Amino acid sequence: CPAGARRQAARRWIVFLAFAVLVSMLTPIGWQGLWYTVQVMRQSYAQSVIAEWQSPDFHRIQGLEIWLLLVLALGWSGRMRLPLTRTVLLLGLVHLALVSGRSISTPGLVSPFILAAPLARQWYSSGSIGGGADAEHLDRWFRALAAPARPLGVAVATAVTAALVATIVPARNPSPSRAITPDAALAAARAAGVSGEILNNYNFGGYLIGQGVKVFIDGRSDMYGDAFMKRYLEALQLKDPQLLLPLLDEYRVGWTILAPGTPAIAVLDRLPDWRRVHSDDLAVVHMQKQATVPR
């Protein structure tokens, strides 16, 4: 590649990156959006306890493993070579996917753009991957697919889509998972006349917000910070027996809705000023006795 062409490509990339940075700041929080990634990466405790931030579990077959094996097979067979820049980008994506389950989808979205051009060049230049005849056959196939649809094809596609929508949508009414929607527990708490602030299970936060409850915590861990997350979880897990009662007092907690098996439930059962008002397989509700609202 001539030096002039490299400089021209470098200038284009610089302009693109500059505009990308500017566009990324066109949000209500401005430049702080650029700091968000650093902020999340520094929350080491939250990343260690929240499932979506933990490393993927390779004890079960999953798409990431199949994708990694395929890419490794292509590389080791010598049928694909990547330029240094693309190699660094791909390694970065793989690193993110291995560190956090939340990033697994990123290689699937971005890697085709990284791999497509080098793989195409190798396909056309090497007879070991099928030769020119196979490439020409694929070209003819894709050109046929890219041709404008004929009226009959449009009609068939419309009929099939309508049939799928008519059969699948009614059968799969969108609804949140039962595991995070403790309807009976919340109804029992309201019937008991709870008042004061709530101490809720982390996974119940989104549902409770939707029901008009001012929650103690919800799934947006980045908003609460590592210190708050650590204190909250260690109090509920009784990592330090001295954490739970000060937490209840400081935040004026009048009632709790926690998942069965949470160690803090045993403490609440024994506190003289607290009583259990509901228990099922999804949630356990306690309330302060003096927090009862007269009827």
pLDDT in tens, 79-126: 778 888 889 999 999 998 998 888 888 888 998 888 888 887 777 776
Cα separation, 92 vs 230, in Å, equals 29
pLDDT in tens, 151-203: 888 888 899 998 888 877 666 666 778 889 999 999 999 999 999 999 999 99
- Compute the distance between CA of residue 134 and CA of residue 125 in angstroms, rounded to an integer: 12
Q: What are phi and psi of 193, to 5 degrees?
A: 80, 40
Q: How far is CA 150 from CA 42, 146, 153, 154, 159, in A?
A: 55, 12, 5, 6, 14
What's residue 1's pLDDT? 57
**Exposure pattern of 113-132 as b/e (b: 16+ CB <10 Å)?**
ebbeeebeebbeeeeebeee
**Residue 283: how many CB atoms within 10 A of its CB?**
24
Q: Please give the average per-residue pLDDT across 265-283, as a whole number.
A: 94
**CA-based nearest residue to 201, from 289, 283, 288:** 283
> Residue 191, Cβ neighbours under 10 Å: how many?
10
> Contact, 116 vs 89, CB < 8 A?
no
